[in-house]
Structure 1
Amino acid sequence: MDDTPVRVLIVDDQTLMRQGLRKLLEIEPGVTVSGAAASGQEALALLATTTVDVALVDAKMPGMDGVALIRRLAAEHPSVACVILTTFDDDEYIFGGLAAGARGFLLKDTPPDELVTTLRRAAAGETVLGSPAAERVVARLRTDPHGTGLEALSAREREVGDLIAQGAHNREIARRLFITEGTVKNHVTALLRKLGMRDRTQLALFLAKHRDQR
């Protein structure tokens, strides 16, 4: 058995949560806390000089949220396994995070021993889901066997998505749906996050391909 400690980076904008997780993990055998970051940008800066096996990432943070950070880590630090730890168990974070490359999803009321086990399994390359997330995944597979994530979109997001697939720009979408351009931008951001897309071009191609499923 490999006795090398799992090196963990904690990413959470709440000071008490960061400190609490650090103290919890530091007493666990086989786990080393390599660092703690208050934001996605700070986490990326730390990873430039710190060796990490697993990033324990809060889903909802100001600026760069957890899903966006995980997408960056998957592209820039593919050897780092990401586990989302959050109080929010909605589809946007579960499926957005998994699509971005997360190896695990846990709620913040997860027992400490389960958290540690998840970190070790994620470091070993496994995907680990807490009970609420696992139930959502099963439900998604039953209603959306191809795993596209389209059924999680709201009616308005579907309307915006249809127009994006047709090549419409934000101003045209706003005019046709009688909403502001700012509202369109918010819907586009939600679509990118929920469907795990990198940019608008990838989103448009994906939506055009799966048009019949919306």
Structure 2
Amino acid sequence: MTSADTTRHPAAVDAPTLRDWMDTPDRPRVLDVRTAGEFTTAHVPGSYNVPLDLLTEHRDELAAHLAEDVVLVCRSGARAGQAEQVLAEAAADLPNLHVLTGGVVAWEAAGAPLVRGEERWELERQVRLVAGSIVLLSVLASLVVPGAVWVAGAVGAGLAGAALTNTCAMGMALSRLPYNRRNAPSLEQVLADLRSPASRGR
């Protein structure tokens, strides 16, 4: 924000508030922490892609370039919340971090515009496919090898743990597949964006 602006925005920002805020001179930087594939499919105009795995791996370098207001965006808000925690741990003096409540889903539901590109499966959908397939195959395999049913149990336990901790190891693993990393930005590209004042308005 500019020094003359006394408006304060809460840590959680809803879609209408962000839409109005992006039309002001002190518009925030909008960082989309989904995979490059998800970002290509649809993203908030003016946002740019910083996948969660890249942000987590290079949090110190990125946090050092976040002096102004930043709104973190993902599909539903869960990964953006994780990104906020990661950046807050890297630099405790970052009071300017915000999360778009409900993510891109809420943004679209509010009638806000999206930049659309090639259709790609969202990470959550990929997790459902992989987890469901493993459970199904494990149950079928247990007809021949009774112990195979424990694989299904392990997947169930993993999904329950993911819900309780609001993290997903399977999702993070899938995010590293070539399908999700195609056109992913490099650290150098992201840092160049953060250093450029023009990137706030693109």
Q: Same fold (TM over 0.5)?
A: no
- TM range, normalised to the smaller chain? 0.3 to 0.5
Q: TM-score, normalised by structure 2?
A: 0.36
Q: Which has the higher contact order (CA 8 A, sep 6+)?
A: 2
